[in-house]
């Protein structure tokens, strides 16, 4: 995938020389031979929230972890001096500002920035309209920290170019199996076992995927859910003549069906509920940057502060993956607690001649 209008991150932490040149990372080169089927990708039985977040949250609660909901951390006070030691947190809860002292034995893990900040949902009959006039709290917290120490990154690199980091996506729900049957026949793959289908001639650069059903834990047996996205939501569609950002869910599905040219398009359109989404920062981690724009997971001189998530620096790893976020968390815990057990090294398939030969053969075969 390629973020619109910007240079591609080259995997070394360097800013690309110009906006027109794109250097692809080698992080997934070992998966080239199975990209058409995605057989080399681990998949959860249900969506990742039901399969990972829910059970993890239940386990944490059983261990005595407290989740403070409807609470926004707005600032972290740092001790005076050259090092990085958090002494208190400022947060708002129920409209009231609170200060939470941080004891010497406490550790602070900050998810700096957010891919899904200010995302907006539409409906079958309405377009998704995000409001980016007010910065999201996750970005504001990072800005507050970066203003205190120069080596805590530069969030403005990632949150000030919405036009270059916006995606449009959509979720389709139906009780009519017609679309699933038609796509399984068209692709030759059972839902949940094939790869993503990208319409390379689409002005939006549309991609759709049929997940294994049910996709949600409480999903009724007679209900089908599938998903898709548009990498270029600011371009006019080939069939509806409008940008993704201005389309209702019905118009987004009309564009998809226009490319597929299915005989059952009318039936599929009338039986579907479509929820379009517009995500202003979804590919912001791919925007051109230089070394230091992302802070180290455990910043130099830190005694109790670590950054986790897509905007913390992990050399040679590839963002936009669950693995990246897990690696930052593991690195943060190991670093602050001085543990011997560290994350396994990042696989460097681009340095393996056998992997490169397989990738070359795959590209030539295609």
Closest CA to 126 of 239, 276, 23, 232: 276
Nearest CA to 194 out of 186, 204, 203, 202 is that of 186
Distance between CA atoms of residues 261 and 244, nearest Å:
19
* pLDDT score of 111: 96
Taking residues 266-276, what's their average pLDDT? 97
Q: How many CB atoms lie within 10 A of CB 203?
A: 17
Structure confidence by residue, pLDDT tens digits, 78-98: 999 889 999 999 999 988 999
The pLDDT, as a whole number, for residue 142 is 97
Reported as a pLDDT band with limits 50, 70 and 90, residue 360 is confident
Q: With bands split at pLDDT 50, 70 and 90, how would you rate the model's confidence at 13?
A: very low
| The pLDDT of residue 348 | 81
Tell me the C-alpha to C-alpha distance, in Å, between residue 221 and each of 58, 215, 225, 241. 25, 10, 11, 36
pLDDT(11) > 70:
no
Share of the chain above pLDDT 90, in %: 74
Q: What string of DSSP letters covers 217-262?
A: TT--TT-EEEEEEES-TTSBPTTT-SBGGG-BHHHHHHHHHHHHT-
Q: State the pTM of this model.
A: 0.86
Quote the CA–CA distance of 287 and 142 in Å, as a whole number: 17
Q: What are phi and psi of 55, to 5 degrees?
A: -65, -35
Each domain of the chain, given as residue ranges in start order, spans 167-279
Is residue 155 within 8 A of residue 216, CB to CB? The reply is: no
Question: CA-to-CA distance for 154 and 157, rounded, in angstroms?
Answer: 6
The CA–CA distances, whole Å, from 65 to 61, 105, 159, 279 equal 5, 16, 31, 31
Q: Are 162 and 280 within 8 A, CB to CB?
A: yes
User: Each residue of 228-258: pLDDT tens digit?
Assistant: 999 999 999 999 999 999 999 999 999 999 9
Q: Which uninterrupted H or E stretch holds 351?
A: none
Mean pLDDT over 48-69 rounds to 95
Q: Is residue 26's pLDDT more than 80?
A: no
Give dist(CA 248, CA 254) in Å, integer: 10
What average pLDDT does this structure show over 273-286? 96
User: pLDDT tens digits for 166-187?
Assistant: 999 999 999 999 999 999 998 8
Tokens of 288: 């051109």
Q: 167-279: what fold?
A: D-Amino Acid Oxidase; Chain A, domain 2 (3.30.9)
* pLDDT score of 23: 35
CA 111 to chain centre: 13
Number of residues in the chain: 366
Encoded tokens for 125: 């009959």
Contacts of 85 (CB under 8 A, 6+ apart): 78, 79, 302, 303, 304, 305
């Amino acid at each position: 995938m390629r973020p619109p209008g910007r240079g591609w991150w080259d995997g070394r932490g360097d800013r690309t020389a110009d906006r027109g040149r794109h250097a692809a990372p080698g992080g997934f080169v070992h998966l080239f031979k199975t990209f058409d089927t995605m057989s080399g990708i681990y998949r959860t039985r249900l969506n990742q929230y039901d399969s990972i977040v829910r059970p993890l949250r239940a386990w944490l609660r059983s261990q005595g972890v407290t989740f403070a909901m409807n609470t926004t951390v707005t600032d972290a006070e740092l001790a005076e001096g050259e090092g990085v030691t958090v002494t208190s947190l400022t947060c708002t809860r129920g409209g009231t500002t609170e200060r939470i002292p941080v004891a010497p034995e406490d550790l602070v893990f900050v998810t700096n920035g957010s891919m899904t900040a200010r995302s907006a949902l539409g409906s079958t009959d309405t377009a998704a309209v995000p409001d980016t006039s007010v910065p999201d709290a996750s970005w504001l917290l990072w800005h507050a920290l970066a203003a205190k120490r120069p080596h805590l990154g530069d969030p403005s690199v990632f949150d000030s170019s919405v036009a270059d980091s916006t995606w449009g996506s959509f979720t389709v729900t139906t009780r009519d199996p017609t679309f699933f049957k038609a796509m399984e026949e068209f692709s030759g793959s059972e839902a949940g076992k094939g790869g993503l289908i990208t319409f390379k001639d689409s002005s939006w650069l549309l991609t759709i995927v049929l997940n294994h059903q049910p996709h949600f834990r409480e999903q009724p047996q007679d209900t089908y859910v599938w998903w898709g996205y548009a990498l270029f939501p600011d371009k006019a569609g080939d069939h509806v003549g409008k940008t993704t950002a201005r389309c209702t869910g019905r118009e987004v599905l009309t564009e998809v069906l226009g490319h597929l040219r299915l005989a059952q398009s009318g039936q599929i359109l009338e039986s579907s509920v479509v929820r379009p989404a517009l995500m202003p920062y979804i590919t912001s981690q791919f925007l051109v940057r230089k070394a230091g724009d992302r802070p180290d997971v455990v910043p130099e001189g830190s005694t109790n502060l670590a950054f986790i998530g897509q905007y913390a620096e992990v050399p040679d790893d590839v963002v936009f993956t669950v693995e990246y976020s897990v690696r930052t968390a593991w690195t943060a815990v190991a670093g602050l607690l001085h543990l011997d057990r560290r994350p396994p090294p990042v696989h460097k398939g681009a340095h393996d001649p056998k992997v490169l030969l397989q990738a070359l053969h795959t590209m030539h075969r295609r």
